[in-house]
Structure formats: C-alpha cells, structure tokens
Structure 1
Amino acid sequence: MSTPTRAILWDMDGTLIDSEPAHEAAFDSALRETGLTVPESLHADLLGASGDTVFAALQEATGTPLSLADWTRLKHRHFEHHARAITRLPAAALAERLAARGVPMALVSNSTAEEVAFCLRTTGLDTLLTTIVTRADVSQGKPAPEGYLLAARRLGVAPQQCLVVEDSPTGAAAGCAAGMQVIYHPQFPDPSPPPGARYVAPDQPPVPLIETFLTQKDPL
C-alpha cells in the first residue's frame, strides 16, 4: 500500500520568515504616534497571537478609543516602513525544495491578509505558497484549529495527513487541536514546550522529522 498524500502546513511569522523585529518596531512606533503606554512585556507575551487578540490586550491596558480597524491601519503603515527588517529563515529554503518536489503545502497565519501578502512579496515567497489562510478567513484565530482545518480542506488532504510547522505555543496548540501532527520549532530554546507537539530545538533542523513524515507510513 502506498503512503497517502501528505501535506506540510507552515506558519509564517517566526517559522518561514523573521518578521518579529518589524512587528515590534511597528508596534512601538504606532504606540509613540498615539501617545499610548503599555507594560514592557505586552508585545512579547502575545507572540503568535492574532491582531485582534493583541488589540484587545492593548485596549485593556490603555483604554484607547481607537477601533480595531484604526489600529490595524496605523500599525500596518509603520510595518511597511520597517520592511527591511523582514528576512527569510532557513525553513524558507526547505519549503522551496519541497515545493520543487511537488509536496502539497499551505500557509496558515494569524496575521491579516494585508500583512501576509506584504511579507510574502517582500521575501519573494509569494509565488511559492499559493494556498493561504489568514486571520480574515476564519472566525477564530490560533490557538483555535479553524485555520489549519480550512487549509487541509483547500488542499484536499485529511487533517491526520498534515504536518504543521510552528514556532509559537499558540500555533502549536492550534495544530494539535486540528488533529494534525505538529513540529514545534521556536526561535529560542523552550524548557516547557507545548504538549502534543514534537519539539525541535532552535539549533536543530526540522528536516529529518519532515522527511520521515512524508515517506513513512507510521506517524512521527
């Protein structure tokens, strides 16, 4: 019996590209423009969270009268200004090699559709990943499983035949909740990785686990 079709579902920020410096700079610049002050750790504590979740925390911390739409437009303007800080991570080269082999792949992000399109264009990945799920496509962002389940449906691959590659506990939780196999590959060591995901340390490549997933009948 042949191995069933399997797919790789990639997170974007912190997995394929390093956009966190640009996001942090844009967040700080937007705060300065509006005169808002937040706890120093607020942005870092929300790693992997969707824009609406970040805004809810911002609103709670500051009581800002800005709407979500206003804040999103303001932050994106600053985000584009800091585009030079957006770079590819090593996983992007792996994604290119897998695409050349015809492996089904999708991108699932908690970012807005505008941010995803901008980041993919900026890093030259816009022609590589054409099946894309953003926060605008789902009613609930990560850690809810909706985005990953939608990506599997769009690819025509069963959830149990999908491997999620994530850098944040929030994203890893979404993949696990979707009933998918998950590689948790953060940018910094994590002494308490999320349960249910395979932890790959920052200094270790996820390639062996991905190849095992694609070629062997048994799960990881």
Structure 2
Amino acid sequence: MDNKILDIFPGTKAIIFDLDGTLADTMPVHFLAYKHVLRDYKIDFTPELFATLAGIPAVETIEKINEMFGSSLDAKTVGHTKENEYEKLMHKMKPVEPVVKLMKKYHGKLPMSVGTGGYHRLAWKTMEILELDKYIDILVSSEDVTQPKPHPETFLKCAEKMGVAPEACHVFEDGELGMQAAGAAGMKATLVTDFYQVTIGQEL
C-alpha cells in the first residue's frame, strides 16, 4: 500500500493464486453471509472474529464457532446454509485489482493455477463472475484434497497439475494459513494484503 509493485520473484516458473481475498475481494461477502446466518443463532459475528477465521472452510469455521461460544450448531447444516447465503450475495464481489493485473501480465507467459480452501463449484462461479476463468483453467479446491491449508497439499497439487517443481512456484496469498501452506510446500510466497486495503464489516 506504499506504492510497492506486486510482482514475481526471479526464477519463478509458475504462479499459484489463492482465490478469496487474493484474486477476488470476496471477504466482505463471506463476512456478510456468516453475519446473516449466525444472527439467527444469536451469535454476534464481528469483523475481528472473522479475521481470526480467514481461510478456514465453512464447516470447520462453524466447528470453531461452537468451541468459542459453547454452542452446538450442526456444523454441516449451518456451514452449507452460510454457503447458500454467500451464493446469493456473490454478485457484490469485486476483483483485487493489483493481483488481477499481475495475473493478466503473466497470462500466456507462465503456467498459472488457483489453490483455494473454498468449494469447487462456488470457486468456479467466482472465477466466472470476475471473468478470471479465461486466464486460468487449473483450480484445486477443498474437495480436491484430504488436508486443507496450512497443509501444503493444495499447493502441491497445483504444482503437479502445472507440471512445475514446487520450489519454482510463487504463491500469492491473503491468509496466514495459506502462507504457512506455501512455506511447507517449499514455495516462495507473497502476502497480497500488503498491496491493497481490506475493508470488512460495511454493508455492500
């Protein structure tokens, strides 16, 4: 945010992008979806609470909510309700301009893929809404791995699908779990939140 230029490290042979909060500014939309759904259960879902849960799939997020609040929500049911609510609000999302600009810069020059903790169908819908699907056709979602971030499996699968060694991949992420996953995979990584302003909590 101080006029730094977002770019790849020298020697990078492939690029992996996280999706939510990295290519797509979906975090305000996810926040509102959680807030709307959890309001029915008398849980005040704040921006501060959301920040501690960024990058965690919906069902696991509800499990953590249960731990924090001593509630007994059915994680699968509420998690899927949240995803349904999110889908209704998806049209409100915007691209993360500095990262999308980087993606377009290297389109056709380096292999690129998306590694997300989100659901496959909704991730592709995000790509289509923002017209990112014409630049990237490799996507690894939470349903494609047995161990989500911070485990490196998501990014290692991306590297495998691109046919590039992990150490030659550069990951762009907005979450600490994703940065840990990239490190565990032996990849270079950049935290994109240093390059744009995150605003959570306002009505869209």
What TM-score results when the alignment is normalised by the length of structure 1?
0.77
Q: Which amino acid aligns with 1:35?
A: Y
Greater RCO, 1 or 2 (C-alpha within 8 Å, sep 6+)? 2
Match of 1:35 in 2: 41
Match of 2:6 in 1: none
C-alpha separation between the residues in 1 aligned to 2:53 and 2:63?
Answer: 11
C-alpha separation between the residues in 1 aligned to 2:73 and 2:61?
Answer: 15
| Residue 98 of structure 1 pairs with residue 109 of structure 2 | no
| Structure 1 gap segments, 5+ residues each | 187-200, 204-220
1:118 Cα deviation after fit: 2.0
Match of 2:201 in 1: none
Aligned pairs for 1:32-181 (under 5 A) are 32=39, 34-38=40-44, 40=46, 41-60=48-67, 61-68=69-76, 70-90=77-97, 91-99=99-107, 101-181=108-188
Q: Which amino acid aligns with 2:106?
A: L
Q: Which amino acid aligns with 1:170?
A: L
CA contact (8 A) 2:33 2:86 kept: yes
1:31 Cα deviation after fit: 1.2
Count of aligned positions: 185
1:16 Cα deviation after fit: 0.7
C-alpha separation between the residues in 1 aligned to 2:28 and 2:73?
Answer: 26
RMSD over aligned Cα atoms: 2.1
Match of 1:202 in 2: 195
1:152 Cα deviation after fit: 0.6
1:114 Cα deviation after fit: 2.6
1:155 Cα deviation after fit: 0.9
C-alpha separation between the residues in 1 aligned to 2:144 and 2:42?
Answer: 30
Match of 1:7 in 2: 14
1:62 Cα deviation after fit: 4.6
Q: Which amino acid aligns with 1:56?
A: E
C-alpha separation between the residues in 2 aligned to 1:171 and 1:4?
Answer: 21
CA contact (8 A) 2:34 2:45 kept: no
CA contact (8 A) 2:26 2:93 kept: yes
C-alpha separation between the residues in 1 aligned to 2:169 and 2:71?
Answer: 41
Most deviating of 119-128 and 46-55: 46-55
CA contact (8 A) 2:59 2:75 kept: no
1:146 Cα deviation after fit: 0.6
Select the structure of larger CA radius of gyration.
1
Off by >6 Å, runs of 4+ in structure 1: none
